[in-house]
Structure 1
Amino acid sequence: MESLEPNKKHYLSWPVIALIDFVTIISFENIFYPFQNQGLSVVISWIFLLFAYVIPYALISSQMSLTLDNQAGGLASWVRHSSNNTLGYWTSWMYWVQSVPYIVDVSNSVIVSFSWMFLGNNTLDKRMSTFWFGILTFAIILIFILLENVIKNSLEILSLIGGGAMFIMSALFVLLAGYAVLHGHHIATQPFNWGAFKPNFSLKYFSTTGLLIFAMSGAELAAPYVVQMRDPKHEFPKAMWLLAIMTGFLTIFGTLALAMFFNANHIPHDFKMNGPYYAFQLLGNSLGVGKLLMYIFAVVQAIFMMAQLAVLLDASSRVFAGDVADKFMPKWLTKKNKNGRPVHSYTMTTGLSLFLLLLTGTLPNINTIYNWLLNINGIISPYKTCWVFFAFVAMRMHQDKFHSDYTFIKNKTGALIVGGWCLAFTFICATLGFIPQEAKFGTGAFNHQLLLNFITVIVLFGLGFVMPWLRKREQRREGMELS
C-alpha cells in the first residue's frame, strides 16, 4: 500500500480565489447608496464602469500580482518595487488609514442590523440619541480589538461563511425580485423606459461616483493568494475575470431589482441605512412570507459585518509590521506582544475611531451620521486605489526591469493610456467626493459637512507625515545614547 505524500501542498482554485475576493469587496448594501444618489441612471454608470474601469482594474491587478508574486506587502510592495521606499510607505499608510472610517462605518452597520433584529422596524433613529449611538459604536470596536488577541482564525472563517451567505442573499433577492415581477408584482419605478436610464450629468452626479469606485474596488486584495494557486499564470486572470463578472451582475441586476420595489424618483431619506431591510421586507410581503426574509437578512448582515470588522482590524495592524515600517514608523508603534501582534497599532486605530466619532457627534441624527461616514469612505478609499494604477504605470514605464507571466495589454503605449485613464478618473472622483451629497449647496448643513470632510482627510492623511518625523527623532535619541 502506497503511503500518502506527507507534505502535499494544498492549492486554491481560481473560482475560490474569485469568491474570497468578491465577498471582501462588495456586499448587497453597496448597491443602495448609488441608487439613492443617481436613481435608475446608475445602471448606465455601473455598465460604463464595468467595461471602462472594473475589468481593466482586475486585469491590472492580475499583472501586478503575477509580476511581484513573492511579495507579502501587497499593494505597498507593488509601489515600493516600481518606485521607491518612501512612496511604498505612503501606500502602506493610506491603505491602513482608509480602513479607519470603514471600521467605524461597519460598526454602525452592526448596530443597525441588531436594531432590525430586535425592533423589526426603522425606529432606531427615534429611539437612540447620537451620543449613545457613538458610545455603542466605540464599544463594539473595543470589544473586537480585544477579541483579535483571543480568537485567531475562527473569525476569518466566520467572514467567509458570512460573506458566502451575503452573496447567496444578494443573488436570491435578484432572482426572487424577477420572479415576483413575472407573477404580477407592479414595478415601482415609473416610467420604466429607456429615458429613465439617461444620466443627468451634473456636479452632484460626478461627486457621487467616488462611492461607486468605493463599492467596486479591492481586486488587489487577492494578490497574496497567487502563491497558493497551482497555475497562477492561467488561473489568476480567470479569477479576476470571474470577479469582474460577479461584480457586474450584482451591481447591474441588483439595481434593476431595486427599481422593482422602490420608486427611483422618490427614494426614502434613510435608504442608505435601512434600504436593504426595506427591500427584503417588501420582497417578503410580495411573496407572502411577511418579514421572514428581512429577519434572515438582518442575521446574515450582522454576522457578515462583525466578521468584516474582525478582519479589518487584523489587516489594519499589519502595516505597522511591514519591512518598510522600521524606517518610517516609531519603534513603540511597531512593538509586538507575545502573540506577535503590534498592540499599539490597535491603540492608534481606537484613537482615530474616537476622533471620527467625536466629529459625528456634531451631526443632527443617526441617519446623517451613517450617510456622512459613507461619503468619507467615497473620498478616502478611491485615493488609496490610485496607488494600484500608479504602480502599474510606473512598472510599465520601466517594463524591461520586470518579468511577468501575464501581461495586460502588450503594447506599452496602450497600457500606459489605460493605466493613466484609471489613475486620473479615480483621483478626480475622489476629489469631487468632498462635495456633500445629502445637503443643499449654501446651507449650514452643507458647510458643516464640507468642513468635516476636509478636517477628516487632513488629519488621517496628515498623520502620515508625523510618523517618519517621530522615527527620526527616535533614531537621533538612540544615536545620542550610544555615543
Structure 2
Amino acid sequence: MCYAKRVDFTFTYWLAELWRRELETGELGEKHSKYFISWPVLALMSFVTVIGFDDLIYNFKNQGMGVITSWVLMLFLYVIPYSLMVGQLGSIFSKEGGGLSSWIRGTNGEFLGYFTAWTYWAASIPYVVDTANSVVVGLGWALNGNNKFQETMSNSHFAFWTLLVFVFFVVIQSRFKHSLELLSSLGGIAMFGMTVLFVMMALGSLAVGGKIATQPFNLGAIIPKFDLKYLTTLGLLIYAVNGCELIAPFVTKMKHPQREFPKSMIMLVVMTAFLTIFGSFSLGIFFNAHHLPYDLKMNGSYYAFQALGRQYHVGNLFMYLFAWTEVIYLAALLAVLLDAMTRMLISDTGEKFMPRFLRRTNHAGLPINGYLLTCLLSGFILFLGVFLPNMNDIFNWLLNLNGIISPGVTCWIFYAFMRVRKNSAVYPAAYVFIKNDRLAWWIGLWALTVTAVATVFGIAPQDVPAFSKLWWHELLINLIAIGVLIGLGMLLPLITKREKRDGEAFSRSQWIGMTVIVLTTLIAMLYIGGSQFSGKGFLLTGVAAVSLSLLFRCTRKKTKKSRN
C-alpha cells in the first residue's frame, strides 16, 4: 500500500488547520502572529509527506536498479517545478486554507471546484482499500514472521478480512478519533525513521563484509529501458513524489517567502534525492535487480528488513519492529482517513452539489451516510479485485490503480497554476515562481503533460504478461473502477437538483428496487467470476450494462410521474 507519500498526513493536516483558524478567527491570539516558520522546518515538514520506504520498494520492482536514473530525472525535471508551483498557489489562496479544490474554485468556478474535491476524494478510495489490505498483510508477518498467511489465504478470505477491517475501524474511529490521529502521526514518523535506518544500515553493511546481490552491477544496470512498459510505470513514480500540496498553507507563514521558500524546496529535493538514490541502491544490495521476487510489492518491505537482520546477525528483529510499527500506524491511519476524507468532501462541496441524504448526520454529528458511501465504494473496488487469480495479483492491481487515479488528480494542480499565470494580475502572491508569466505557463504545461501521459499509460496493467487474458481482464476492471469513481461525481449534482425539485432524491420503492438490482448484480458477477468458462470479461460487461439500464429506468420512473 503506497501510504508513504502521506506518511505524516494527519500531522500536517493538524498544522494546516491551526494556521487556517489563526487566519480566519484569530484563535491563536495576537502574540503568536510574530512567529514564522523557518525554511529548514518547512523542508522537513514537506519531506515526511513526500517519500517513504514502500515507494522505494514498488518502483524498484517496476524498474530495478534503473529506477535510480528515473529518480534523478523525476526530482530535477518534475519535483522542483511542481513544489514551487504549489508554493505560489498556496500563497495566493492562503485565506481559503490552500486546499486543491479552493485553487480550482478560485480560478475556474464552483462546479469545477466541487468536481476537484470529488476526484481528490475518489482518489482516496483505492488508497484506503490498499491500506486495509496492508493491515491484513502486516498482521500475517507480525504474527507469523513469514508470508505463509498470505500464501495460504484465498481471495474470498482476503476480501472478508479486509471488509472486516473496514467495518471495525468505521465503528471505533468515532470513539477514539483524537487518540488515533496522534497514534498515526507518531507511527508515521516512526515509519519514516525506519526507512532512514534501513538505508544507513544497508550502506554500512558493505563496510562489514556485505556484498551487492545485483550482478552484474555496472552502468547498464542503472539505465532504465525506455519503452512502453516504462511509460506504464511513470504513474507510481509520480504518486511517490506528490504530496507537496499538503504544505501549501504554510508558505504565507514564512518571513520572506520569495527568498526562503525556494530554499526549502531545494533542501527537500536534496534530502529526497539522497533517500531515493541511496535507498534504491540499498535494495540492490539485498535483492538481485535482474531477478526480483514476484511478490516484492506486497512483501518486499518485510523481505528487506529480514535480509538486514541476517546481515547483522539479529534474526528477524528488524522485521518484527517494522511489521508491528506498520500495523499499528496503518490501523490508526485507516480509521482517521475514513473519517477525515468523508468530512472534508461533504463540508467542501456544501448544499449546491451534494445530496441532502449524504450530508445528513446522526445525533453525534457524524455523516453516517457519507461513511456508508465510502464503505460501499471501497467494497466495490475490493470486489473488482476478487476475480483476479491470487492475493498477490489483487495487491498489485490495487497499488497500480493508485498510480492511475492519484496522478490524474495531480493534473488539477498544474491546470490551476496555468490559469493563474495566464492572468497573474488578478492573483497577487507573496511568493511567485518565475516572474516571467509566459515561461511559467509553459513549465506548468510541461508538468501537466507529463502527469497526464503517466495517468493515461498507467491504465495499462503492470506485473502481468502484456496482452494476455489477465492483462485484458485488469484493463477492463481499471476502466470500470475509473468510470464508477469519476462518473458518480458527475451524477451527484444531478441527484441534488432532482432532490431540490421533487423534495427527495428517490422514493422508498426506488431505493428498494436499486438495492435489489445491485445485490442481484453482485451475486451474478460472483457466480461468473467463480465459473470456468471463457469470455468472462464480455459477460461481466453485459451484466453491468443490463444493471445500469435497469437502474436508469428505476430512477426515471418518479420523474415521469412528477411531470404528469
Deviations 1:173-197 (A, max 9, x none): 1111111012221100111111111
Partner of 2:326: 301
Is residue 390 from structure 1 mapped to residue 415 from structure 2 by the alignment? Answer: yes
Tell me, in whole angstroms, the C-alpha distance in 1 between the residues paired with 2:375 and 2:46: 26
Tell me, in whole angstroms, the C-alpha distance in 2 between the residues paired with 1:314 and 1:24: 20
Q: Please give the TM-score of this superposition, normalised by the length of structure 2.
A: 0.81
Tell me, in whole angstroms, the C-alpha distance in 1 between the residues paired with 2:317 and 2:148: 19
- Unaligned 5+ runs, structure 2: 1-27, 505-558
Residue type matched to 2:347 in 1?
Answer: G
- Which of 348, 357, 362 matches 2:382? 357
Partner of 2:523: none
How do residues 25-64 of structure 1 correspond to structure 2 at under 5 angstroms? Answer: 25-64=50-89
Partner of 1:243: 268
Tell me, yes or no, if the aligned pair for 2:177 and 2:336 is still in contact at 8 Å: no
Q: 1:322 to 1:240 in 2, by over 3 A?
A: farther
Partner of 2:296: 271
- Unaligned 5+ runs, structure 1: none
Tell me, yes or no, if the aligned pair for 1:14 and 1:235 is still in contact at 8 Å: yes
Residue type matched to 2:457 in 1?
Answer: L
Residue type matched to 1:314 in 2?
Answer: D
Q: 1:364 to 1:66 in 2, by over 3 A?
A: same
Partner of 1:366: 391
Larger RCO (CA under 8 A, 6+ residues apart): 1
Deviation at 1:15, TM superposition (A): 4.5
Partner of 2:539: none
- Where 1:322 maps in the other structure, the secondary structure is helix
Deviation at 1:311, TM superposition (A): 3.3
Tell me, in whole angstroms, the C-alpha distance in 2 between the residues paired with 1:167 and 1:239: 19
Q: CA RMSD in A?
A: 2.2
Partner of 1:452: 477
Q: Please give the TM-score of this superposition, normalised by the length of structure 1.
A: 0.94
Q: 1:230 to 1:124 in 2, by over 3 A?
A: farther
Partner of 1:216: 241
Of residues 234-243 and 125-134 in structure 1, the stretch that sits farther from structure 2 once superposed is: 234-243
- Which of 490, 493, 514 matches 1:468? 493
Of residues 225-234 and 305-314 in structure 1, the stretch that sits farther from structure 2 once superposed is: 225-234
Of residues 465-474 and 151-160 in structure 1, the stretch that sits farther from structure 2 once superposed is: 151-160
- Where 1:313 maps in the other structure, the secondary structure is helix
Tell me, yes or no, if the aligned pair for 2:140 and 2:150 is still in contact at 8 Å: no
Partner of 1:316: 341
Of residues 216-225 and 88-97 in structure 1, the stretch that sits farther from structure 2 once superposed is: 216-225
How do residues 178-193 of structure 1 correspond to structure 2 at under 5 angstroms? Answer: 178-193=203-218
Partner of 1:152: 177
Partner of 1:177: 202
Is residue 196 from structure 1 mapped to residue 227 from structure 2 by the alignment? Answer: no
Q: How many residues are treated as equivalent by the alignment?
A: 477
- Where 1:188 maps in the other structure, the secondary structure is coil
Tell me, in whole angstroms, the C-alpha distance in 2 between the residues paired with 1:358 and 1:204: 27
Tell me, in whole angstroms, the C-alpha distance in 2 between the residues paired with 1:169 and 1:428: 33
Deviations 1:151-193 (A, max 9, x none): 2322222122111111111111111111101222110011111
Is residue 408 from structure 1 mapped to residue 433 from structure 2 by the alignment? Answer: yes
Partner of 1:425: 450
Is residue 86 from structure 1 mapped to residue 106 from structure 2 by the alignment? Answer: no
Partner of 2:308: 283
Tell me, yes or no, if the aligned pair for 1:61 and 1:220 is still in contact at 8 Å: yes
Tell me, yes or no, if the aligned pair for 1:93 and 1:319 is still in contact at 8 Å: no
Q: 1:334 to 1:320 in 2, by over 3 A?
A: farther
Q: 1:296 to 1:450 in 2, by over 3 A?
A: same
Tell me, yes or no, if the aligned pair for 2:107 and 2:419 is still in contact at 8 Å: yes
Deviation at 1:295, TM superposition (A): 0.7
Deviation at 1:53, TM superposition (A): 0.6
Tell me, yes or no, if the aligned pair for 1:219 and 1:240 is still in contact at 8 Å: no
- Where 2:214 maps in the other structure, the secondary structure is coil
Tell me, in whole angstroms, the C-alpha distance in 2 between the residues paired with 1:111 and 1:20: 29
Q: 1:154 to 1:24 in 2, by over 3 A?
A: farther
Q: 1:314 to 1:222 in 2, by over 3 A?
A: farther
Tell me, in whole angstroms, the C-alpha distance in 2 between the residues paired with 1:348 and 1:410: 44
Tell me, in whole angstroms, the C-alpha distance in 2 between the residues paired with 1:73 and 1:332: 28
Tell me, yes or no, if the aligned pair for 2:180 and 2:336 is still in contact at 8 Å: yes
